């Protein structure tokens, strides 16, 4: 007799660009298709990271919803009921609405992954996320620091929290020589130092702080010939472009928009930097480090956990552009320091953040949670959380 696969439904806004979206696509790809029947429901549209996922999952797009859907997500409830999953796995950005619809559809097990608090101090986010958390069985944090913050922020028990850090394919992202494509595009010489970053141009990423740091760094001997390359799009793009003009950094700071040539981009970077005010476990950071790009990032969220003890000196306080410029100078002025940071970065990701371990942790969580609902595994949710860390 063939055993029925567990039906798991992921719900997300869309899979178009962004670290979270890449994580979800990778997780769907790596989940054991012999044990799990996977479905993916996007509330807006599928997006570029959904390409090819129809080989391993059934893809769905929700029907347009009214502005009252936060209170009564009737259409979403009907869609979930039609798919009839054993477990729903929601992701940041749609938690309240999707969790409400899943419970109204009669879904027995609900997991949510918090990929990073986008507006941690906004009262409305705390209110709605707190309500969603109370009807969710297990809330997964993608960094240890986030796991420690969530019970207080959401007013839920520690026993509901699991910690499963993000991971990447370290063979796909391994050290490689600069392809030269980005340098040719921007008219840069082979020896021009490139400070690079990849991320959403949104307030939480605080790219204005990075541009300010570069304005300082560009006046120093080690930064005199350097350029800053930012790949990404978002609501702060125009403000950042205006800042670049005010600081007279045209030609020194390049806003590239979203790019699909990630390997070309990362291989050109002399170092990778992030100025975020909050982070979960950044996929862009993991990819850069996996390719042997030395990181300089703010000491927020999961960044310290990604860098580990051996790279803790590469962390800088948030909101201190001079400290960031000092850290860039330390790396770019001393090739031996930069090379050692690159070696440690690759080793750290290769040994601690492989993608298969992430998929296995989620699979175990799914099985234990659905089994708990069916009465075939231990009923203590705290054990589910500990088993997944």
State residue 17's pLDDT score.
Answer: 79
Tell me: the pLDDT tens digits for 126-176? 788 899 999 999 999 998 888 998 999 899 999 999 999 999 999 999 999
Q: Are 239 and 353 in contact (CB under 8 A)?
A: no
Indicate the DSSP class of residue 313: G
Q: Of 317, 385, 309, whose CA–CA distance to 352 is shortest?
A: 309
Q: Are 310 and 342 in contact (CB under 8 A)?
A: no
State residue 145's pLDDT score.
Answer: 86
The length of the chain in residues reads 389
What are the extents of the domains in the chain? Answer: 6-167+354-388, 181-352
Topology annotation, domain 181-352: Rossmann fold (3.40.50)
State residue 374's pLDDT score.
Answer: 66
Q: Do domains 6-167+354-388 and 181-352 have the same CATH topology?
A: yes
Indicate the DSSP class of residue 102: H
Mean pLDDT of all residues in 339-348: 97
Topology annotation, domain 6-167+354-388: Rossmann fold (3.40.50)
Beta bridge partners of 197: 230
């Amino acid at each position: 007799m063939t055993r029925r696969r567990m039906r798991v439904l992921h719900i997300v806004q869309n899979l178009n660009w962004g670290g979270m979206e890449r994580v979800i696509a990778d997780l769907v790809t790596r989940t054991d298709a012999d044990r799990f029947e996977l479905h993916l429901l996007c509330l807006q549209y599928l997006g570029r990271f959904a390409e090819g996922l129809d080989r391993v999952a059934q893809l769905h797009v929700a029907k347009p919803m009214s502005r009252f859907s936060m209170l009564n997500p009737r259409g979403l409830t009907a869609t979930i009921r039609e798919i009839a999953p054993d477990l729903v796995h929601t992701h940041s950005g749609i938690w309240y609405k999707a969790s409400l619809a899943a419970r109204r559809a009669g879904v027995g097990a609900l997991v949510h992954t918090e990929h990073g608090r986008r507006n941690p101090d906004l009262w409305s986010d705390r209110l709605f996320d707190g309500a969603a958390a109370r009807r969710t069985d297990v809330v997964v944090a993608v960094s240890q620091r986030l796991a420690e913050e969530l019970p207080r922020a959401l007013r839920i028990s520690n026993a509901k929290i699991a910690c499963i850090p993000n991971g990447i394919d370290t063979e796909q992202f391994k050290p490689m020589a600069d392809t030269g494509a980005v340098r040719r595009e921007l008219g840069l010489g082979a020896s021009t130092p490139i400070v690079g970053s990849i991320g959403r141009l949104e307030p939480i990423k605080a790219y204005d702080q990075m541009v300010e740091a570069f304005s300082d760094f560009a006046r120093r001997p080690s930064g005199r010939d350097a350029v800053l390359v930012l790949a990404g799009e978002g609501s702060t793009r125009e403000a950042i472009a205006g800042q670049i003009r005010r600081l007279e950094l045209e030609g020194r700071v390049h806003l590239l928009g979203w790019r699909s040539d990630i390997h070309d981009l990362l291989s050109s970077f002399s170092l990778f930097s992030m100025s975020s005010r909050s982070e979960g476990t950044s996929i862009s950071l993991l990819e850069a480090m996996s390719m042997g790009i030395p990181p300089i990032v703010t000491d927020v969220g999961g960044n310290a956990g990604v860098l580990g003890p051996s790279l803790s000196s590469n962390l800088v306080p948030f909101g201190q552009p001079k400290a960031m410029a000092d850290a860039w100078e330390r790396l770019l002025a001393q090739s031996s320091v930069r090379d050692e940071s690159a070696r440690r970065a690759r080793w750290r990701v290769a040994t601690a953040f492989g993608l298969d371990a992430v998929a296995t942790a989620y699979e175990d969580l799914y099985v234990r949670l659905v089994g708990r609902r069916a009465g075939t595994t231990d009923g203590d949710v705290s054990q589910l959380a500990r088993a997944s860390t």
